[in-house]
Amino acid sequence: MMKTASSSSSSHAFPTTALLCTPYLLLVPLGLLAMVLVIPSLGSSHFRSDDALGVLCRGGGGYLVTPGGAAAETKKVVSRPELRLLVGVLTTPKRYERRNIVRLAYALQPAVPAGVAQVDVRFVFCAVADPVDAQLVALEAMRHGDILVLNCTENMNDGKTHEYLSSVPRLFAANPYDYVMKTDDDTYLRVAALVGELRSKPRDDVYLGYGFAVGDDPMQFMHGMGYVVSWDVAAWVSTNEDILRHNDTHGPEDLLVGKWLNIGRRGTNRYSLRPRMYDLNWDMDNFRPDTVLVHMLKDNRRWAAAFRYFNVTAGLQPSVLYHLP
């Protein structure tokens, strides 16, 4: 009952893995269908017509936000997209509920045209020590294929970002991305808006995010809410022994990334996306329509406010099975 279609943008991307691009609802056993429909965000506009069908592609893990339906199926051979972006959401194993919300937040985004971008999202952990968590995270890896476990001990400001940025060039060496992003599980990233920014940017020596001014340097480092480096910059981090020799991985991760790049004169193509990247304020009244990402979504109430503001559930079809005001 699973309908498969070869992916337009990435059939070459994961040569070792058969790629499944399946309309999301078709992944759900019929018995669960009614239950799933109760979840408001699953009924998004993606499912209203074939043309707008959102397709969640699994290939070697992660999501691929590509257009689905007839268009994708008829185009058998599609060249490499303009850009490929890996989004690493740094989180910890026990945050199951949050991860579920974040996963839906990515899965229900409007499609990015396949020729424009391939965007893969992974949840990034250090080693999963607890045997119960190891089992449950294994389920997620099997079901969603979006788990990346690094060789580190879980921490936030003790080298996890360094481990992430320096593992990715090796882990994906066979099929490099153009850009590597680090973000968190309290950030809502609007993928199409970010891709729109990246399209016109260089593919090399890039460091993009919410620029933090220090002294008279307007962009000394990018805030940890979410930043992007180009592949060459990640590769440079992965091979730079000075960072480890100077023990320069302990401390605020975002500030340290800026420090490494400043010392190494890397990431010199710097772009601050302020004010399109921002912290949601206490009153939750500073959302903006041109948001690239909004940070500080630290509880369900704040996530709900974001989904409402960005009309994520506006396309929910009326049904006798649920009433969700």
Ligand X SMILES: *[C@@H]1O[C@H](CO)[C@@H](O)[C@H](O)[C@H]1NC(C)=O
- Which of the stretches 3-11, 206-214, 263-271, 309-317 binds ligand X when contact is defined by CB under 6 A? 309-317
Fill in the per-residue mask, 40 to 79: x = in contact with ligand X (CB under 6 A), - = not in contact.
----------------------------------------
Can you state the angle between helices 231-239 and 253-264, rounded to 10 degrees? 90
Q: Give strand ranges (E) for the chain.
A: 20-23, 54-58, 65-67, 83-90, 117-125, 147-149, 179-184, 187-189, 206-209, 211-214, 217-222, 226-230, 269-272, 277-279, 293-295
User: What is the spatial distance between Cα 110 and Cα 107, in angstroms, rounded to a whole number?
Assistant: 9
Minimum CB separation of residue 42 from ligand X in Å reads 19
Closest CA to 83 of 168, 195, 183: 195
Minimum CB separation of residue 28 from ligand X in Å reads 27
Tell me whether residue 80 or residue 246 sits nearer to ligand X (CB atom): 246
User: What is the spatial distance between Cα 289 and Cα 309, in angstroms, rounded to a whole number?
Assistant: 9
Minimum CB separation of residue 21 from ligand X in Å reads 25
Pairing of strands 269-272, 206-209: parallel
Q: Which of 16, 49, 74, 151 binds ligand X (CB under 6 A)?
A: 151
The tokens 């930043």 sit on which residue?
227
Minimum CB separation of residue 45 from ligand X in Å reads 11
Q: Which of 9, 167, 240, 272 binds ligand X (CB under 6 A)?
A: 167
Contact 209/222 with Cβ under 8 angstroms? Answer: yes
Tell me whether residue 42 or residue 256 sits nearer to ligand X (CB atom): 256
- Which of the stretches 42-50, 255-263, 272-280, 306-314 binds ligand X when contact is defined by CB under 6 A? 306-314
Q: Which of 42, 191, 310, 312 binds ligand X (CB under 6 A)?
A: 310
- Which of the stretches 21-29, 86-94, 173-181, 304-312 binds ligand X when contact is defined by CB under 6 A? 304-312
What is the footprint of ligand X within residues 269-298 (CB under 6 A)?
Answer: 289
Pairing of strands 20-23, 54-58: antiparallel
Contact 106/123 with Cβ under 8 angstroms? Answer: no
Cβ neighbours of residue 102 under 8 Å, at least 6 residues apart?
89, 91, 123, 185
250 binds ligand X (CB under 6 A): yes
311 binds ligand X (CB under 6 A): yes
Residues that bind ligand X (CB under 6 A): 150-151, 167, 171, 247, 250, 289, 309-311
